[in-house]
Amino acid sequence: MKLLSIVSARSLWFFDPRELNPRGKSIYPELIDWLRDEYDFEEVPKSQTDTNPQGGLEFKRGSFEVDAKTNEFINVDLTLFTDGALADTRSSTRDSDAFLERTLKSVSEAFGLEYDSSLIRMKGYINEVIYRSDRSLNALNPRLDRFCSRLRDLSNRPIETIALMFGRDPREAMMPSPTLPAFSFERLANAPFSENRYYSKAPIDTEAHVKLLEEFEEILSGDEPTPL
């Protein structure tokens, strides 16, 4: 298994902004201008009411310094909601977390707010990657290979198992919790089978996701997976 790219590494922090600003200070539109200048966002809301369909204030294509020693910057998107904030990078959820942490601290200092890590009620992650694997999903069970062979004979077309998903019970998903995706492993759309390129999405942090893919590779190879 070889990681080819990180499509998205999202961190979702759930908190009540009123607890961050308990005295109801008026910080708009100054906050929008501050965030634009602090992170060089190319696109920012025109006003406090300029929200996306989900009700969030979107700040797109910003720049965040992840390592002052090496002067390394990454691209970042930020969305502010009435119940928290979302950061999206293409490096790792660790960097997305670091961005949210630094932003909340810096905003609090700049506007006299009261940020404390205890305000964060819950964190969620959505990680998407593209990777290469020499293993076919048919390797999960020889019966899948035989079934695909049957389909190939009937259709006269190359057929393989192209996707595998693991999801939550819908009843559990209705409980108060972040709306997170299922675990998915699938061949990359529009990529020839010969390229062995796969796409995976998971509601976990980047490091755990990569380890999960390595374990999945061991399962496909028939080896006993190494515990996470």
- The dihedrals phi and psi of 130, each to the nearest 5 degrees, come to -120, 135
Answer for the pair 133, 122: CB distance below 8 angstroms, yes or no.
no
The rounded percent of the chain whose pLDDT value lies above 90 is 87
- Are 217 and 133 within 8 A, CB to CB? yes
Which secondary-structure segment (H or E) carries 217?
helix 206-221
Q: Tell me the one-letter amino acid at 162.
A: I
Residue pair 122/178 in contact (Cβ under 8 Å)? The answer is yes
Predicted local confidence at residue 178, as pLDDT: 55
Range in 13-17, 119-123, 208-212, 220-224 with the lowest mean pLDDT: 220-224
Tokens of 6: 């990180």
- pLDDT per position as a tens digit, 1-14: 999 999 999 999 99
In the predicted model, is pLDDT for residue 17 greater than 60? yes
Residue ranges per structural domain of the chain: 9-124, 126-221
Residue type, 65: E
Going by pLDDT thresholds of 50, 70 and 90, the confidence category of residue 69 is confident
Taking residues 16-29, report their average pLDDT. 94
Q: What does pTM read for this prediction?
A: 0.89
Average pLDDT, rounded, for the chain: 92
Residue range 113-131: mean pLDDT, rounded: 95
Strand partners, 118: none
Per-residue pLDDT at 169: 79
Share of the chain above pLDDT 70, in %: 94
Antiparallel, parallel or unpaired: β 122-132 and 57-67: unpaired
Write out pLDDT tens, residues 136-187. Answer: 999 999 999 999 999 999 999 999 999 999 988 777 655 445 567 889 999 9
Q: Are strands 84-89 and 122-132 parallel, antiparallel or unpaired?
A: unpaired
Which residue bears the tokens 């977390």?
97
